[in-house]
Amino acid sequence: MNKWLMILVLTVFSASMLFSFYRIYLIYKPTMTTLQEIEAYTNPVFDDVPKKRITLIIPGIRQEQMALVEKEALASAEALHVHLDIKRTLNETAQELVKEVEVAISSKTDGIILYGVDDLNVRQVINKATKKGIAVITIGNDVPNSLRKTYIGSNHQFSGKIMANTIMEKLDHKGSVGIIGDYQTSFMNTHRLLGMNQSFQEYPSIEVIYPLASNQDRIWTAPEQTNEVLNQYPAIDAFIVLNGNEVSKVVSTIKSRVNKQKHLIYSFDATEEVRELMEESEVEIAIAHDYQQIGAKSMDLMTQWLAAEELPLPMEKYTSIHIIDELDAKEGVASE
């Protein structure tokens, strides 16, 4: 009897102790913290930190080239964890570019990447953005004498030298060459022309012909310039087209003439249309630019500036260029 009584007393006591410990656990449980919770508290992950915002402004009329820039810039934005706004101007004019930059400034974007237009109003709006703490990078076509951080794209003066040397070899360093395009107001084209002239002047037997160029009072189209040259120099040997998007117009103008003399045609851009004309033996040589590299490098340098890493940025960051001919076009050699 005493034995069972002892067992009952011990059982009741044990149950009472367990109940007391459980009550203590419930009271203090909300304040108990695991090591993982302590680490999370002292090293929080801020998923809601806003991403840096970058605005890319590109001309809509250069659809093929700018599509490559846009594609690579978007891929870089995702990899670099930044937000990219893409704005397209209808035409490649200073007025439209200034308007888009003003909108970007008002939106308080962190950085602006733009395809430049060398114009006083564009320089002023770039300077305005810079003074407000918004970094500006130019791509493809520079805006010199502005406060932009850097320029990324082809070395146009160097590409002009390559073009001139290629033509001189083809013509055995003698003959006549006509320049088609806006070679007076575009930074890109004036520097292409500068590079060509530096090479051409070494060979006086090469005659360079400049048709009337566009200005504020008069826009001369590629067909008009081509006809003017052919009217005055029907036996001209070659044409250099500064804008790849105008090459087909030059080809059509030449083919429409009564005089079916063969003229060599050279392009400063290897668009898909130009490559097709090369396959048809209508275009001799084209210079290919690396638009994908422009898109990626511009995002890299902009985020580098915003993070204050490896500053200052270089004044220019030139991307690769190379020449393609008819054989390359037929074999599908990449143009970027």
Q: Tell me the C-alpha distance between 231 and 212, whole Å.
A: 13
Which residue, 257, 287, 263, is CA-closest to 178?
A: 263
pLDDT in tens, 141-184: 999 999 999 999 999 999 999 999 999 999 999 999 999 988 77
Q: What mean pLDDT is reported for the chain?
A: 85
Range of weakest confidence among 21-35, 131-145, 199-213, 262-276: 21-35
Radius of gyration of the chain (CA): 33
Which pLDDT belongs to residue 46?
45
Confidence check: pLDDT of 15 > 60? no
Which residue, 31, 72, 109, 4, is CA-closest to 295?
A: 72
Which pLDDT belongs to residue 11?
62
Which pLDDT belongs to residue 210?
87
From residue 135, alpha-carbon distances to 116, 294, 299 in Å are: 14, 17, 12
Confidence check: pLDDT of 10 > 70? no
Which pLDDT belongs to residue 18?
56
Which pLDDT belongs to residue 311?
86
Domain spanning 156-288: which CATH class is it, in words?
alpha beta
Q: What is the band of 188 on the pLDDT scale with cuts at 50, 70, 90?
A: very high
Mean pLDDT, residues 133-143: 96
Q: What is the band of 50 on the pLDDT scale with cuts at 50, 70, 90?
A: confident
Which residue, 208, 213, 258, is CA-closest to 237?
A: 208
Q: How many Å separate Cα 246 from the centre of its chain?
A: 21
Which residue, 142, 159, 158, 160, is CA-closest to 150?
A: 142
What is the percent of the chain with per-residue pLDDT over 90, rounded to a whole number? Answer: 68
Helix axes 187-200, 156-170, angle to 10 degrees: 40
SS3 label, residue 272: helix
CB 167 within 8 A of CB 198: no
| Termini Cα distance of the chain | 100
Range of weakest confidence among 2-16, 17-31, 157-171, 174-188: 17-31
Q: Tell me the C-alpha distance between 38 and 308, whole Å.
A: 32
Fold topology of 53-154+291-319: Rossmann fold (3.40.50)
Give me the amino acid identity at 17.
Answer: M
Mean pLDDT, residues 93-101: 94
Tokens of 89: 């101007």
Q: What is the pTM of this model?
A: 0.81
Matching residue, tokens 């810079």: 130
pLDDT in tens, 282-316: 999 999 999 999 999 999 999 999 999 888 999 99
Confidence check: pLDDT of 100 > 90? yes
**Neighbouring-strand partners of residue 153:** 318
pLDDT in tens, 191-230: 999 999 999 998 889 999 988 765 556 678 899 999 999 9
**Neighbouring-strand partners of residue 177:** 208, 238
Please write down the HEC assignment for all residues of 134-193. Answer: CEEEEECCCCCCCCCCEEEECCHHHHHHHHHHHHHHHCCCCEEEEEECCCCCCHHHHHHH
Which pLDDT belongs to residue 20?
57
Residue spans per domain, the chain? 53-154+291-319, 156-288
